[in-house]
Amino acid sequence: MDFTLHRSTLTPGFSHRLVKLVFSIALGVVVMSAQATTQGTQMIHQYPSASLSHYGYLSDKTAVSKVTLTNKHGIEVDVISYGGIITRITTPDNKGQMANIVLGMDDIHAYESANPYYGAIIGRYGNRIANGRFTLEGVDYQLGQNDGDNHLHGGHNGFDRKNWAMVPFTTENSSGVTLSYVSPDGDQGYPGTLDMQVVYTLTNNNTLDMKFSATTDKTTIVNMTQHSYFNLAGGGSILDHQLRIPSDSITPVDSGLIPTGELMPVAGTPFDFRDFKTIGQDINTNHEQMARGKGYDHNFVIKADIDDELIEAATVVEPTSGRQLTVLTDEPAVQFYSGNFMDGSTSRDGKPFDFRTGFCLEPQHYPDSPNQPAFPSTTLSPGEQYQIRIVYAFDVVK
């Protein structure tokens, strides 16, 4: 297979483009009539755009809004205020056909009642903390136990279930939305008031650039991530997607998916994604770690140093559509989850999401770091700025 990048080949589908053309002509007539008379038929520069609309109401009647970002190549991203959830990312395949490549639900009611973190901002602590317990500066903390005895993805009422404030913006080459939320001291058992901003920016270079930042007024722990589930074919099994993760080792886990504290080299194991292979190639291999995760649900180490250098966490290519996704980050690890808990109980447009029809690549610090002194620290102190970056880069290969 040819994995050469073919940049600038992204063109939206015809009907889509026609609607936009008609719209832009109409807008041009209304808004730019003076300019039109002097510049003939020249069209106004309509994209990038960011438009805000009403999405629905939570059961407590709180209004949830939606922002739609569009870039000049016709890529569209929908974000809702509830959970900062990315509900839709529409990108072209190598023939220009648009499809939504992320999993999501029909409406706010579905998200509120049973969302397995589709598209959501995760925090305060992405991934698991053993028994929901940790000790910081001599104080013991007990968090909610929402994954057996363990704490997962911020607990019962994590950031994926908060209604964030959203402010859309546009620049010459991008459009975006700034989400903010203040998590009070004691929220889900965590110490400190956490004041957060998440900025999603869709660029004309076909990237969705996401910056997460936070400050605290008491020493606390933070490990945020983005939990989009992808299917680059727009549906069906993900097992034929080609995946590369430039990682030499994973943090192996016990039966509750808590790291044992060791690093396990990937060489000679099903976890070796250093060269492209399909997600399905080794997924049924008899390996203790594979049995514990019920497939891939592991933290791959991608950098040794904690710094702000943006590096490749993973690249995925779907051979039929040619869609390619590269996930970049400054985080030291990425959780690769192959949709092993998916069972058809959630759906969109009447189509159930069956076993392994979506995968996640969640850049983050290692799971259970607060209880693992040898792991990179997830502690945030007053006066420090938590700042991480995750970039989804969209492309097509022939």
Applying CB under 6 A, which residues contact ligand GLA? Answer: 116-117, 127, 152, 257, 297, 335, 337, 341, 360, 362
Catalytic residue among 112, 241, 362, 365: 362
Q: In Å, what is the CA distance from 78 to each residue of 27, 183, 185?
A: 22, 24, 31
- Out of 153, 227, 241, 298, pick the active-site residue: 227
- Nearer to ligand GLA among residue 152 and residue 243 (C-beta): 152
CB of 143: closest distance to ligand GLA in angstroms? 16
Q: Give the distance from CA 93 to its chain's centroid.
A: 20
Tell me which residue has its CB nearest to ligand GLA: 337
Tell me how far, at minimum, the Cβ of 335 lies from ligand GLA, in Å: 5
Instruction: Tell me the closest approach of the beta carbon of residue 181 to ligand GLA, in angstroms.
Output: 20
| Residue 362 is a catalytic residue | yes
Residue 62 or 345: which CB sits closer to ligand GLA?
345
Cβ-contact 68, 53 below 8 angstroms: yes
The residue (of 216 and 364) whose beta carbon lies closer to ligand GLA is 364
Closest separation between CB of residue 275 and ligand GLA, Å? 24
**Choice between 122 and 222, CB closer to ligand GLA:** 122
Task: Tell the smallest beta-carbon distance from residue 228 to ligand GLA (Å).
Answer: 11
Q: Which is nearer to ligand GLA, 136 or 239 (CB)?
A: 239
Is 156 annotated as catalytic? Answer: no
CB 216 within 8 A of CB 348: no
Q: Which residues are catalytic?
A: 227, 362
